[in-house]
Amino acid sequence: MIGARALMQTLVDSGVDTCFMNPGTSEMHFVHELDAVPQMRGVLALFEGVATGAADGYARMTGRPAAVLLHLGPGLGNGLANLHNARRAHTPVVAIVGAHATYHERYDAPLQSDIEGVARNVSGWYRVSASSRDVGRDAAAAVAASRQPPGQVVTLVLPADVSWSEGAVPARPRVLPPAQPVDNEAVDQAAAVLASPEPALLLLGGAGTHEPGLRAASRICATTGARMLGEVFPARQARGAGVPPLERVAYLVEAAQKQLQGVRHIVLAGARPPVSFFAYPGQPSDLVPDGASVHTLADGTEDVTATLEALADRVAAGAAPQLAQLAPPAAPTGTLDVTTLAAAVGATLPENAIVVDEAQTSSLGLPAATANAARHDWITETGGAIGQGLPCALGAAVAAPDRPVLCLQADGSALYTLQALWTMARERANVTTILIRNDAYAILRLELQRVGAGPAGEAGAAAKRMLDLSDPSINHAAIAEGLGVDAVRVSTADELVAELRRAYAEPGPHLIEAAVPSLL
């Protein structure tokens, strides 16, 4: 058996049965083996950032890693930004990077580069498979490493001769280590802190924002009087009717400070202490209020859900969680703006939807407008590297073909990885994209001012031009049509509502280009 076959068979046996890829010459044996190992689904992406973002979205929904197949250092580098988002989300991803044959390396052929230097940036585990005899074992080790709590990106380099040489054997899947037992001391300490009369906050991240964690947290807070908040950018948060509501820490420092004002204790459950996204002159980086103490109930390597449940049983035995009611907003009419955009989303959101949020400045009204919509999961850009929305939505749709996916996609961010639309069309992915067109990098107009460079309105023409996308004006619907996706342009709230309803009712991907004037 050749190395590529053993690798693929081992991946499948270890539960990795989807590979998002953009292959090249060094990966041809792997591609060839797709027909020999039909349990592996290959999904072609036309840019590596699409493949890596899709693998992230896939694993956020399944809890299982997908593989991504990338072409040497340049291919891995092209996929880096979305691997970075995956790393910050603690998403398990198995990156297989094809490389030159071992004996070819010393000739410094054109594609030779420092793969490890690129991979280390995002990978918690890195290995070069040295021979076809090792590759099965290496693949099983890679999958197990990716799933090591709380989950990580791993990189396995596959030299072309390892891929094509005989003598390989598939390896048995590694048995995953059992979840860590609940740290009872941490539970005791959190119980004491929450029972004290001082204002306390339970800060949720990781699995803490999935439904079981939220239910336990809600019981804890209902009984102790503590507040709960979620991390600024959760990897995945359960929301809507029947789920405990959870506000998130605000993105803007001033707003976050207001939320956290007066808190004396922050109890962390799968979250990290709150920090400002960027440094701003005269503003703090550390958002823990002066004099407040921070207690770790469970870090990401521990079983956050079981720990929250143990704490709930300790301090809130018999208490019920507080759940959001079903009360979606009315369908809006008239002018399309960030408020009516949000209302249109909340009014039409189908049951059990997956929402991928890369709406940037147009997200302002979305949390409130969807808080009492039908139950859904919300995925955010954990690492702040834009170009994640469309790929992540593709991956979520591949992971959960029976669930509607809504991609809330700001225009500037869309243009990093718009090739995802073609893969959505080809894979018949049930993704409805609202392409929110404000013809600007609107948020940077605000940031220009917030970092102290001066009010955007007073910036010079050369600077303003760097934040403007209106000349020439971009026809996103035409691009989508060109990539095989049914697309329309809307400019009123009524049209948006009607097109959303149509898109959800029809199979396959749809893009609705919505003209939403910039807030800034």
Ligand X SMILES: Cc1ncc(C[n+]2csc(CCOP(=O)(O)OP(=O)(O)O)c2C)c(N)n1
Site for ligand X contains 443 (CB under 6 A): yes
Given 228, 235, 271, 440, the residue binding ligand X (CB under 6 A): 440
Q: Would you count residue 387 as binding Mg ion (CB under 5 A)?
A: no
| Binding at 81: pick from Mg ion, ligand X, none (beta carbon under 5-8 Å per type) | ligand X
Pick 217 or 386: Cβ nearer ligand X: 386
Distance in Å, CB of 49 to ligand X, minimum: 9
Subset of 373-402 contacting ligand X (CB under 6 A): 384-387
Q: How far apart are CA 27 and CA 437, in angstroms?
A: 38
- Tell me how far apart the terminal alpha carbons of the chain are, to the nearest angstrom: 60
DSSP assignment of 198-243, as one string?
Answer: S-EEEEE-GGGGSHHHHHHHHHHHHHH--EEEE-SS-S-EEESTTS
**Closest to 512 measured CA to CA, from 440, 436, 419:** 436
CB of 406 to Mg ion, least distance (A): 18
**Which amino acid, 72?**
L
Interaction partner, residue 78 (Mg ion, ligand X, none; CB < 5-8 Å by kind): none
411 is a contact residue toward ligand X (CB under 6 A)? yes
Per-residue tokens: 435: 């392409």
Torsion over CA: 459, 460, 461, 466 (sign): negative
Of residues 265, 416, 438, 479, which one binds Mg ion by CB under 5 A?
438
Is residue 161 near Mg ion by the rule CB under 5 A? no
Among 410, 448, 493, 512, binds ligand X (CB under 6 A): 410
Establish if 417 lies at the interface with ligand X (CB under 6 A).
no
Torsion sign over Cα 310, 313, 314, 316: positive
Which residue has its beta carbon closest to ligand X? 412
> Which range binds ligand X by CB under 6 A, 126-134, 293-301, 339-347, 356-364?
356-364
Q: What is d(CA 280, CA 90) in angstroms, rounded to the nearest whole number? A: 27
Residue 434 binds ligand X, judged by CB under 6 A: no
Cβ-based neighbours of 454, under 8 Å, separated by 6 or more: 448
438 binds ligand X (CB under 6 A): yes
Report how far residue 143's alpha carbon sits from residue 173's, in angstroms, rounded to the nearest whole number: 8
Smallest separation, CB 439 to ligand X (Å): 8
Contact between 513 and Mg ion by CB under 5 A: the answer reads no
Residue of 411, 427, 499, 513 that binds Mg ion (CB under 5 A): 411
Q: Contacting ligand X (CB under 6 A), which of 86, 144, 200, 444?
A: 444
Cα separation, 479 vs 418, in Å, equals 9
Which span sits near ligand X by CB under 6 A: 69-77, 180-188, 359-367, 495-503? Answer: 359-367
Q: State the Cα–Cα distance between residues 55 and 3, nearest whole angstrom.
A: 23
Number of residues that bind ligand X (CB under 6 A): 18
Burial of 416 per CB tally in 10 Å (0-12, 13-18, 19+): buried
358 binds Mg ion (CB under 5 A): no
510-515 sheet: strands from edge to edge: 237-239, 376-380, 353-358, 405-410, 431-437, 510-515, 486-490
Q: Is the dihedral of CA 330, 334, 339, 344 positive or negative?
A: positive
Write down the least CB distance from residue 359 to ligand X, Å: 7
- For ligand X, which stretch binds (CB under 6 A), given 138-146, 301-309, 436-444, 471-479? 436-444
> Residue 96: beta bridge partners?
69, 156
Other beta carbons less than 10 A from residue 374's beta carbon:
18
We find the least distance from the C-beta atom of residue 172 to ligand X, in angstroms, to be: 39
Residue ranges of alpha helices (H) inside 284-376 are 304-315, 338-348, 366-370
Closer residue to ligand X (CB): 30 or 441: 441
Judged by beta carbon, residue 274 or residue 387, the one nearer ligand X is 387
Which of 129, 152, 413, 430 binds ligand X (CB under 6 A)? It is 413
CB 27 within 8 A of CB 411: no
Whether residue 59 contacts residue 90, with contact meaning beta carbons closer than 8 Å, is answered with no
Q: Is 363 in the site for Mg ion (CB under 5 A)?
A: no
Q: Which is nearer to Mg ion, 72 or 435 (CB)?
A: 435
Which range in 187-195, 208-216, 383-391, 430-438 contacts Mg ion by CB under 5 A?
Answer: 430-438
Please report, as a single letter, which amino acid is at residue 440: A
Residue type, 115: I
Buried b vs exposed e over 198-236: b needs ≥16 C-beta within 10 Å?
A: ebbbbbbbbbbbbbebbbbbbbbbbbbebebbbbbbbbb
361 interacts with, out of ligand X, Mg ion, none, CB within 5 to 8 A per kind: ligand X
Residues 77-116 that bind ligand X (CB under 6 A): 81
Instruction: Name the binder of 443 from Mg ion, ligand X, none, CB < 5-8 A by kind.
Output: ligand X
For residues 440 and 57, what is the distance between their CA atoms, to the nearest angstrom? Answer: 26
Binding mask 29-68 for ligand X (x = CB under 6 A): ----------------------------------------
Contact residue for ligand X among 170, 391, 412, 509 (CB under 6 A): 412
Stretch that binds ligand X, among 67-75, 182-190, 241-249, 407-415 (CB under 6 A): 407-415
Q: Which does 386 bind (CB under 5 to 8 A by kind): Mg ion, ligand X, none?
A: ligand X
Q: CA 290, CA 313: separation in Å to the nearest integer? A: 31
Question: Could you list the residues that contact ligand X (CB under 6 A)?
Answer: 81, 360-362, 384-387, 410-413, 438, 440-444
Question: Could you list the residues that contact Mg ion (CB under 5 A)?
Answer: 410-412, 438, 440, 442
